Amino acid sequence: MDTGNGNMADMSKMGSMLDNLKAMIDFPATKERIVEEANKMEGMADEHKSWLKDNLPEGMYNTMEEVKDALGM
């Protein structure tokens, strides 16, 4: 996963944020729903929200692991 600057700390932080996001989503969920819930997260940086929106392929996801796989994490 590349958050734009290649920083491993950012990649780790994005993974942690996705783990936290998992509790907010009832799977299966569409990209639209996942991005919508991410945008509600106060602890998620705007740059990470934008990255998620720009890099998550359209589709239906059954688990957060599928989301991470689609993002190359």
The domain segmentation of the chain, as residue ranges, is 30-73
**Model-level pTM?**
0.81
Question: Read out DSSP for the chain?
Answer: ---SS--HHHHHHHHHHHHHHHTT--SSEEHHHHHHHHHH-TTS-HHHHHHHHHHSPSSEESSHHHHHHHTT-
pLDDT in tens, 27-68: 999 999 999 999 999 888 899 899 999 999 999 999 999 999
Which residues, other chains included, contact 54 with Cβ-Cβ below 8 Å and sequence gap of 6+? none
Instruction: Decide if pLDDT at 26 tops 90.
Output: yes
